[in-house]
Amino acid sequence: MAIITEIAPDLFRISIYAQHINMQFNHFLVRDEEPLLFHTGLKAMFPELNEAVAKVIDPASLRHIAWSHFESDECGALNEWLEIAPNAQPVCTLVGKIVNVDDFSIRPAFGMTADDILRTGKYSYRFHRSPHIPHGWDAGVLFEEVSKTLFCSDLFHHFGDAEPMTSSDLIGPTQLAMQQMQTGPLAGYMPYTRQTEGVLRALAELKPETLAVMHGSSFSGNCAGMLVDLAGVIKENFDKERI
């Protein structure tokens, strides 16, 4: 069953816990004049997620459907959402639009550059490119500039059926998840590149007040410090695989 939590004004975390892999899949709905959904969810999760969204807004009123990078839990159900929301547009990085999305999607995407701003009413968004952070050439993170929410995608990924929001340390659980992943078939899922530390420090300079985390608890507190610390953890765990 999807759990809905308002973790900041107008920001709803919709969490589906997959017990068989001990991991949450979190989707973020922003209620505004032009509602925005960040993460479409897997295709198999669409009926449950659609039902949850309907408890907050009319799903047909969605106008923007965004995600970080091309991956099934990020945008697998994109076309299902576009079918029920006739005025919705896909929103991703320009690289994502060019290399994947406009071929996959039933409607063209708004491929955002660093200069583009998406306004939904009260709220205003920019995409900050983050190639290979957490995954993929097309990766980016979305920052809402009014409430200062950073939609982190797989950054700070950790396991368990975690509480919706925490002000406790995320670094410990994140490091444990990295170590666990490195022992299995998905090892190397987050490479350490020459850009990693600079990208995360640039995100820290945005001074976010909320980190909206896809797998695990979202965070409120010293978000800038958490992002800087994350750079060190990624280096410690993945520097041998530097590209």
* 46 contact partners, CB below 8 Å, separation of at least 6: 40, 77, 80, 81
Distances (CA, A) of 210 to 87, 143, 171, 224: 28, 10, 15, 10
- Here the tokens at position 186 are 């998905």
What are the phi and psi torsion angles at 149 (to 5°)? -100, 130
What band does 190 get if pLDDT is binned at 50, 70 and 90? Answer: confident
Q: Check pLDDT > 80 for residue 240.
A: no
Range of the domain at 201: 3-241
Handedness of CA 173, 93, 86, 9 (dihedral sign): positive
Q: Where are the alpha helices (DSSP H) in the chain?
A: 46-53, 72-75, 78-84, 94-96, 102-104, 171-181, 196-204, 223-238
Give the model confidence (pLDDT) of 208-228 as tens digits. Answer: 999 999 999 999 999 999 999
Which residues 6+ apart lie within 8 Å of 158 measured at CB? 170, 173, 174, 176, 177, 213, 215, 216, 217
User: What are the pLDDT digits (tens) for 119-131?
Assistant: 999 999 999 999 9
- Per-residue pLDDT band for 243 (boundaries 50, 70, 90) equals very low
Domain tally, the chain: 1
Please report which confidence band the pLDDT of residue 237 belongs to, taking 50, 70 and 90 as the band edges. confident
- Average pLDDT of every residue of the chain: 96
Which stretch of 53-67, 84-98, 187-201 has the lowest confidence by average pLDDT?
187-201
| Pair 136, 151: CB distance under 8 Å | no
Question: Beta strands of the chain (E only): which ranges?
Answer: 3-8, 11-18, 23-30, 36-38, 64-66, 89-93, 110-112, 118-119, 124-129, 140-144, 149-153, 165-166, 210-213, 218-220
Q: In this structure, how many other beta carbons lie within 10 angstroms of the beta carbon of residue 72? A: 12
pLDDT above 90 (res 104): yes
Largest pairwise CA distance in the chain: 48
pLDDT of residue 238: 86
- CA–CA separation, 152 and 212 (whole Å): 6
In CATH, what number is assigned to the domain containing residue 22? 3.60.15.10
Beta-bridged to residue 61, according to DSSP, are: none
CA distance 101 to 93: 10
**CA atoms lying within 13 Å on the CB side of residue 197:** 9
pLDDT digits (tens, 9 = 90+) for 52-82: 999 999 999 999 999 999 999 999 999 999 9
3-state SS class at 38: strand
